[in-house]
Amino acid sequence: MTQDIRLLSGLFAFFSRHRWVLFACTLLVVAGAAFVSGQIELSENIASLLPDDRSEAAESFALLNRMPFSRKIVIQLTAGPGTETARLLAAGRELARNLQPPYFSRVITGPETGIGLDFFTWTLNALPNLITETDLSRIDAHLTPQGIHARLKTVKQRLLAPTGIMEEALLRSDPFDLAPFGFEKFTSMNPFQGVRIVQNQFLSQDEKKAIVLADTPIEGTDFKEGKRLIEHLEHLFTSHVPGDITVDFISVHRYTVANAEVMKADVWRVIGISTALILLLFLIFLPHWRAGFVLLIPITSLVVASGAVSLFFSEVSAVTLGFGAVILGISVDFGLHVYFALSSGYQDPGHSLDRLFRPILFSALTTIFAFGVLLFSKLPGQRQLAVFAIMGLFYALGVSLVVLPHLIKPLAHKSGRSNQWLQAPAPVWGKGIIGVWLCALILGIFGIRYLQFNGDLGALNRVSGDVLKAEEEIQKTWGDFRSKAMILCKGSTLETVLTQNDRVFSLMEQEGYIKNPVSLAPVLPSKVRQEINRKRWQDYWKNGNGARRLVFLKTEAATLGFSPEAFKPFYDRLDREVEPITAETLSAKGFSPMLELLLNRDENGFSATTLVPDTPKVMAGFSRIRKILPETRLVSQGRFREIISGAIKGDFKSFLISASVGVFLIAGFFFRRAKRLLLASIPVVTGTVVMAGSMTGLGLTFNLSNIIASILVIGLSIDYGIFMVYRLDRGFRHQTEEAVLVSGLTTISGFAALAVARHPALSSIGLTVVLGIGAAIPSALWVIPVLYRIIIKEKHHAPA
Partner 1 sequence: MKTISAAFFIVVYLVSTAFGNDALLSTFDRETLQKIRRAMEGIETLSGDFIEEKRLVMLKEPVVLKGRFYYIRPDRLRWEHLTPEIQGIAVSNGHGSKWLQDASKATPFELDSAPAIRRFVDQVLSWIRGDFDGTTDKYRIAVSSKGPVSVVLTPISEAEKAFLDRILITFSSDLRHVQSVDIHEKDGDASRIRFTRVQINRVLEPGLFP
Comparing CA positions, the residue from 481, 610, 412 lying closest to residue 108 is 481
- Contact letters for partner 1, residues 157-196 (x by CB under 8 A): x-xxxxx-xxxxx-xx-----------------------x
Residue 137: strand, helix, or coil: helix
Q: What is the rounded radius of gyration, in angstroms, for the C-alpha atoms of the chain?
A: 36
CB of 199 to partner 1, least distance (A): 6
Sign, CA dihedral 784-789-794-797, equals: positive
Nearer to partner 1, 168 or 642 (CB): 168
CB of 122 to partner 1, least distance (A): 15
Nearer to partner 1, 512 or 561 (CB): 561
Please tell me whether residue 199 binds partner 1 under the rule CB under 8 A. yes
Distance between CA 651 and CA 644 in Å, rounded? 10
**CA 67 to chain CA centroid, nearest Å:** 15
**CA 662 to chain CA centroid, nearest Å:** 30
Nearer to partner 1, 174 or 502 (CB): 174
- DSSP element (H, E) containing 368: helix 349-372
Nearer to partner 1, 123 or 500 (CB): 123
Distance between CA 611 and CA 606 in Å, rounded? 17
Residue 7: strand, helix, or coil: helix
Strands lying side by side in the sheet with 599-602: 599-602, 605-612, 485-491, 633-635
Please tell me whether residue 25 binds partner 1 under the rule CB under 8 A. no
CB of 576 to partner 1, least distance (A): 19
Nearer to partner 1, 84 or 184 (CB): 84
Distance between CA 740 and CA 742 in Å, rounded? 6
Nearer to partner 1, 245 or 319 (CB): 245
Name the region of 501 (left: φ>0; alpha: ψ -120 to 50; beta: rest): alpha
What number of CA atoms fall less than 13 Å from residue 222's CA on the CB side?
11
CB 561 within 8 A of CB 153: no
Question: Hey, which residues does 601 pair with through a beta bridge?
Answer: 606
- DSSP element (H, E) containing 202: strand 201-203
Nearer to partner 1, 5 or 166 (CB): 166
Nearer to partner 1, 87 or 675 (CB): 87
Q: Is the peptide bond before 102 cis (omega within 30 degrees of 0)?
A: yes
CB 244 within 8 A of CB 79: yes
**Which residues in the 546-565 window bind partner 1 by CB under 8 A?**
558, 561-563, 565
CB of 550 to partner 1, least distance (A): 17
CB of 382 to partner 1, least distance (A): 54
CB of 48 to partner 1, least distance (A): 48
Nearer to partner 1, 147 or 569 (CB): 569
Q: Could you count the other beta carbons within 10 Å of the beta carbon of residue 593? A: 18
Binding-site size for partner 1 (CB under 8 A) equals 30
CB 400 within 8 A of CB 388: no
**Which residues in the 633-662 window bind partner 1 by CB under 8 A?**
none
CB of 531 to partner 1, least distance (A): 32
Nearer to partner 1, 167 or 509 (CB): 167
CB of 101 to partner 1, least distance (A): 30
- Contact letters for partner 1, residues 669-698 (x by CB under 8 A): ------------------------------
Per DSSP, 69 falls in state T
Nearer to partner 1, 510 or 563 (CB): 563
CB of 157 to partner 1, least distance (A): 7
Per DSSP, 47 falls in state G
- Contact letters for partner 1, residues 454-493 (x by CB under 8 A): ----------------------------------------
Nearer to partner 1, 156 or 527 (CB): 156
Please tell me whether residue 82 binds partner 1 under the rule CB under 8 A. no
**CA 155 to chain CA centroid, nearest Å:** 57
Task: Name which position in 424, 440, 518, 566 contacts partner 1 (CB under 8 A).
Answer: 566
CB of 561 to partner 1, least distance (A): 5
Nearer to partner 1, 172 or 527 (CB): 172
CB of 143 to partner 1, least distance (A): 20
311: CB partners within 8 A, 6+ apart: 36
Q: What is the 3-state secondary structure (H, E, C) of 636-679?
A: CHHHHHHHHHHHHHHHHHHHHHHHHHHHHHHHHHHHCCHHHHHH
Distance between CA 424 and CA 734 in Å, rounded? 10
**Which residues in the 83-102 window bind partner 1 by CB under 8 A?**
84-86, 89
- Of 79-87, 305-313, 343-351, 735-743: span binding partner 1 (CB under 8 A): 79-87
Distance between CA 188 and CA 459 in Å, rounded? 32
- Of 80-88, 283-291, 470-478, 737-745: span binding partner 1 (CB under 8 A): 80-88
- Contact letters for partner 1, residues 408-447 (x by CB under 8 A): ----------------------------------------
CB 218 within 8 A of CB 245: no
**Which residues in the 114-143 window bind partner 1 by CB under 8 A?**
114, 116
Kindly list the residues in this chain that would bind partner 1 in the complex (CB under 8 A).
84-86, 89, 114, 116, 156-157, 159-163, 165-169, 171-172, 196, 198-199, 207, 558, 561-563, 565-566
